[in-house]
Amino acid sequence: MTIYICKSLISLSLSRTLHISTKLQSLFSLSYSSLPLQKPSIAVADYLIDRHKFSPETASKVSSVVKYVKRPEETDSILSFLQESGFSDTHLELLIKRMPRLLSANLERTIKPKIKLFQDLGFSCCEFVKIVSSNPRIITGRVDNKLGPSILALKSVLGWNMDDVSRVLKKYGRILIYDLSKTMIPNIEFLKSCGISPSQIAQCVYIFPIFFIHKPTRFREWVKRVDEMGIDRKSKMFLYAIRAIGSMTKENWELKLEFFKSLGFSEDDILSVFRKQPHVFAVSERKIEAVTQLFLSTGKCDISYVVNNPDLLARSIESKLKPRLRVLDVLESRNLLPKKPSLAYACKITDKKFYEKYVLPYSNEVGELFVVKKAS
């Protein structure tokens, strides 16, 4: 009897287990069947070439960074939107080549708001396409409230001139990645408090805006060092001096001073050069030495001549200085010049003026020489 009861219990247990198992299988089967089927990823090279006619060169470069397009339809929408917004095939290739992750960006939350912002701020289609193409990070970064105020800040500095703003952003669009309210604007306000005119500041922002996005604390340190060198804040060179100081560490600055001394410049000479043409300190040491030696080798100049004309150190040796000095040397050796010319003047004037004054009247003697050197 006991054995019979045990067998019945075992049979009942197995029956229930099989019933539960069958239900679970049915449930899992139903769950899987209700899930949407995901389409397989596409190799990015195949996607760009076959689907959007990108060049093999661009596809290869992008595929070295991004292997697959996981959601082709979403990427299609991104490329279609950009085309509708004014991006040509050439611009699109440039954009994707520079920023491959744009293929997986969020169209609604990231790209569209950025493009709309440029349009709302008055940029033409052609302008924002060039700006974005030059620096795609502008539209791939996270959406925040910095971009609009930064553009408006730049416009206010440049006198609300859209042409100037566009030119700056086409070349230096990466400044929009930074929060200008914490860098450029405080630095500009500090310069104004130093007595620098807004027009002079605007001109420098137009030429080298990247310089103004340094931390204000560091910016103030550079101004202090320039003040200590005795450069007048009213001088047109004041801002250029700050930039020169900011372009190198204190250690590199000391090495630059030692280099000038090795060429025969005294400390006063070096300070005089810096006050007159601070950008010369950004010129390579090799070039500074070559120009200095070139003028000393004429036998007509000494170090003081270079100190008094420091902008010569930034001139092109092969296309400017050597050809002109050669022409003057030939003319003087043949006594063709009624008056001994100033080397500095002859090396600083435009090519047209030099040609008219020193070549054209003596074309039989130096015409060919100057043309050959100028073309080289």
At 114, which CATH number?
Answer: 1.25.70.10
Residues in Cβ contact with 175 at an 8 Å cutoff, skipping those fewer than 6 apart: 150, 154, 168, 169, 184, 209, 210, 213
Per the domain annotation, does 307 fall within a domain? Answer: no
62 belongs to a structural domain: yes
Rounded distance between C-alpha atoms, residue 240 and residue 222, angstroms:
11
- Rounded Cα–Cα distance for residues 341 and 233 (Å): 35
Q: Is residue 203, in this structure, part of any structural domain at all?
A: no
The confidence score (pLDDT) of residue 39 equals: 56
Tell whether 51 is covered by a domain: yes
pLDDT at 174 (0 to 100): 85
Q: Does a structural domain hold residue 135? A: yes
Point out the residues of the chain with pLDDT beneath 50: 1-15, 17-24, 26-37, 372-376
Closest CA to 45 of 27, 23, 67: 67
Residue 122 is predicted with a pLDDT of 87
Tokens of 34: 């209700």
Q: Looking at this protein, which amino acid is placed at residue 319? A: S
Domain residues for the domain of 75 are 42-143
What's the pLDDT score for residue 297? 93
Q: How many domains does the chain have?
A: 1
In a domain, 236, yes or no: no
What distance in Å separates the CA atoms of residue 370 and residue 376, rounded to the nearest whole number?
Answer: 10
| Residue 279: count of CB within 10 angstroms of its CB | 17
- Contact assessment for residue 226 and residue 245, using Cβ atoms and an 8 Å cutoff: yes
Answer yes or no: is 79 within a domain: yes
Instruction: Determine the pLDDT at residue 150.
Output: 87
At CA 265, angle to CA 264 and CA 269, rounded to 5? 160
Phi, psi of 335 (to 5 degrees): 55, 40
Question: What are the Cα distances from residue 252, in Å, to 246, 248, 264, 281, 291?
Answer: 11, 6, 19, 11, 21
| Domain annotation covers residue 2 | no
pLDDT of residue 147: 84
